[in-house]
Amino acid sequence: MIGTGYVGLTTGACFAHLGHAVVCADIDVDKVQRLRAGDVPIHEAGLAELVAEGLESGRLSFVVGGANAVCEADYVYLCVPTPQGDDGSVDLDYLKAAAAEIGTHVRPGAVVVNKSTVPVGSTLLVEQAMGRSDIAVVSNPEFLREGSAIADFLNPDRVVIGSDDPAAADLVAALHAGIGAPVMITDPASAETTKYAANAFLATKLSFVNTIAAVCEAVGADVGDVLAAMGCDERIGKEFLRPGPGWGGSCLPKDAAAIISIAHGAGYDFSLMRGVLEANDEQFKRVVGKVASVVSLPGATIGLLGLAFKAGTDDTRNSPALEVAKLLLARGAKVRAYDPAVAAVDIDGIIVVDDPYAATEAAEVLVVATEWDEFSRLDLDKIAESMAARHVVDARNIMDREALLSRGFSYQGIGRN
Ligand code: UDX
């Protein structure tokens, strides 16, 4: 397993759990030392337990550098980051470097599996970077969600394998025999496109939901009721229909930008997707607009509940909470924030406190930006006492509106009046 981020570490720990011998490699020496001691650097439900299990059984080990992991391997998984380049394109430098490093060390007959999210043509690129035309490179995109990555790995909706080499595809399929999900074998271009298309569709669904919420506000409808009724149509589905402050994370924004760039490179203007991104930027601004509608922002103190991009993770990459906070700061407000999983952020001006009530202290507006359960169970009397004015902008629709109104708060959710 090359790379011990969310994908590599989850995949490695799960394969060890399924009985395979797994060696995970990373270039970060400190991280490898921590992992050897069972210290998992990310907040992911059940992952620390699986890593501990793998270390104890001896089926899971950690080394520095990909070359040290692959010599004996039947399968080599590339799980390195493929970040967004400045122009929205996909930066493949980590992937090329990892492939070049392992090239001479992979044993003949092994299969290299590309799990990193990569554009069409990347199986060939990996083959070339390895300098090994004798090694089959197979695309096997991951669809794990942070916060439920282990469950998603062990009970996936589908396993997608893309290869021009049927024998290599069958070898990778065989690894998933114990998992009980449909295995779909296709060509590399289709497998690679599936990942971008799936994430682009999810992003589209969320931007649609958030724009319907705006329509609901404008016409006096309740988005909760509208979406509940819409979701009963099986073609629409109930999942992924929660309105919010915009969507974020390490995948959706990067993959949505990438598919626009990939399409552009292939001569197609993906204007629909550009609209999806614009609607998301608009959503961050709409949340700030709600705050500005009840307080003059310059000099105002805003309490922010949530920093992670969603509940169940400590990940703040492309977090809507931070996008909202940055806009508030830019308009002269002071931000006091609390998140149960995030102790610090790298943005000047955000004061991170270690208790939700400390975030509400002297605040004129309280903004709920991440849907942590505990935010729906706060002591509202305590909050009413500590705030300088009683205004709530609930960008996740999780607080008790009636209870807030009865305590003299103004309440604005998303898509509900
Ligand atoms: C996503 C994809 O779901 C996963 O399949 C892919 O492999 C990686 O990217 P993840 O980044 O973990 O997973 O987050 P996800 O659960 O999809 O949430 C993305 C964003 O959408 C978050 O900001 C979340 O708060 C928001 N969201 C999600 C909503 O606003 N409403 C919803 O109903 C669902």
Annotate 238-250 with DSSP letters as a single string.
Answer: STT----S---SS
For residue 289, report the distance from its CA to the centre of ligand 1, in Å.
Answer: 24
Task: Give the per-residue pLDDT at 199.
Answer: 97
Task: Give the per-residue pLDDT at 24.
Answer: 98
Look at ligand 1, atom 2, and give the residue with the nearest C-alpha: 145
Task: Give the per-residue pLDDT at 417.
Answer: 76
Evaluate: CB of 203 within 6 angstroms of ligand 1: no
Which ligand 1 atom is nearest residue 144's CA?
A: 7
- What are the tens digits of pLDDT across the range 144-202? 999 999 999 999 999 999 999 999 999 999 999 888 899 999 999 999 999 999 999 99
Task: Give the per-residue pLDDT at 87.
Answer: 85
Task: Give the per-residue pLDDT at 252.
Answer: 96
Q: In which order are the strands placed within the sheet that holds 334-338?
A: 350-352, 334-338, 301-305, 365-368, 391-394, 410-412
Evaluate: CB of 145 within 6 angstroms of ligand 1: yes
Q: Which residues pair with 302 in a beta bridge?
A: 335, 365
Which 3 state secondary structure label does DSSP give 196? helix
Number of DSSP helices (H) and strands (E) in the chain, helices first: 16, 13
For residue 249, report the distance from its CA to the centre of ligand 1, in Å.
Answer: 7
By most ligand atoms within 8 Å of CB, the mutation choice from 247, 255, 284, 371 for ligand 1 is: 247
Evaluate: CB of 206 within 6 angstroms of ligand 1: yes
Which ligand 1 atom is nearest residue 210's CA?
A: 30
**Considering only CA atoms, which of 311, 94, 379, 18 is closest in space to residue 319?**
311
Q: Which residues contact 218 (CB under 8 A, 6 or more apart)?
A: none
Which 3 state secondary structure label does DSSP give 205? helix
Which 3 state secondary structure label does DSSP give 198? helix
- What are the tens digits of pLDDT across the range 341-356? 999 999 999 999 999 9
Evaluate: CB of 146 within 6 angstroms of ligand 1: yes
Task: Give the per-residue pLDDT at 178.
Answer: 81
For residue 105, report the distance from its CA to the centre of ligand 1, in Å.
Answer: 37
For residue 145, report the distance from its CA to the centre of ligand 1, in Å.
Answer: 7
Q: In which order are the strands placed within the sheet that holds 111-114?
A: 75-78, 111-114, 136-139, 159-162, 183-186
For residue 58, report the distance from its CA to the centre of ligand 1, in Å.
Answer: 34
Q: What is the mean pLDDT of the chain?
A: 96
Task: Give the per-residue pLDDT at 85.
Answer: 87
Task: Give the per-residue pLDDT at 119.
Answer: 87
Domains of the chain and CATH, by start: 6-186 (3.40.50.720), 222-417 (3.40.50.720)
Cβ–Cβ < 8 Å for 192, 118: yes
CB neighbours of residue 285 within 10 Å: 14
- What are the tens digits of pLDDT across the range 91-111? 999 999 999 999 999 999 999
Type of residue at 158: R
Look at ligand 1, atom 6, and give the residue with the nearest C-alpha: 143
Evaluate: CB of 306 within 6 angstroms of ligand 1: no
User: With 0-12 CB in 10 A as exposed, 13-18 as middle and 19+ as buried, what is 48?
Assistant: middle
Cβ–Cβ < 8 Å for 394, 415: no
Evaluate: CB of 249 within 6 angstroms of ligand 1: yes
Stretches where the chain sits below pLDDT 50 are none
Q: Which residues contact 93 (CB under 8 A, 6 or more apart)?
A: none
Evaluate: CB of 284 within 6 angstroms of ligand 1: no
Question: 49 to each of 13, 38, 41, 143, 287, how far by Cα in Å?
Answer: 9, 9, 13, 21, 38
* Residues shown for the chain: 417
- R_g over Cα of the chain: 23
**Considering only CA atoms, which of 79, 68, 132 is closest in space to residue 104?**
132
Which ligand 1 atom is nearest residue 248's CA?
A: 23
Active site residues: 251
Q: How far apart are CA 338 and CA 375, in angstroms?
A: 10
Look at ligand 1, atom 27, and give the residue with the nearest C-alpha: 247
Percent of the chain as helix, strand, coil, to the nearest 5: 45, 15, 40
Q: What is the pTM of this model?
A: 0.95
Type of residue at 311: A
Task: Give the per-residue pLDDT at 177.
Answer: 87
Question: 328 to each of 105, 295, 349, 388, how far by Cα in Å?
Answer: 51, 12, 10, 18
Evaluate: CB of 248 within 6 angstroms of ligand 1: yes
Evaluate: CB of 202 within 6 angstroms of ligand 1: yes
CB neighbours of residue 405 within 10 Å: 13
Residue 43 CB-half CA count within 13 A:
14
Which 3 state secondary structure label does DSSP give 3? coil
Look at ligand 1, atom 9, and give the residue with the nearest C-alpha: 251
Quote the Cα angle for 223-227-229, to 5°: 120
Which 3 state secondary structure label does DSSP give 209? helix
Look at ligand 1, atom 7, and give the residue with the nearest C-alpha: 143
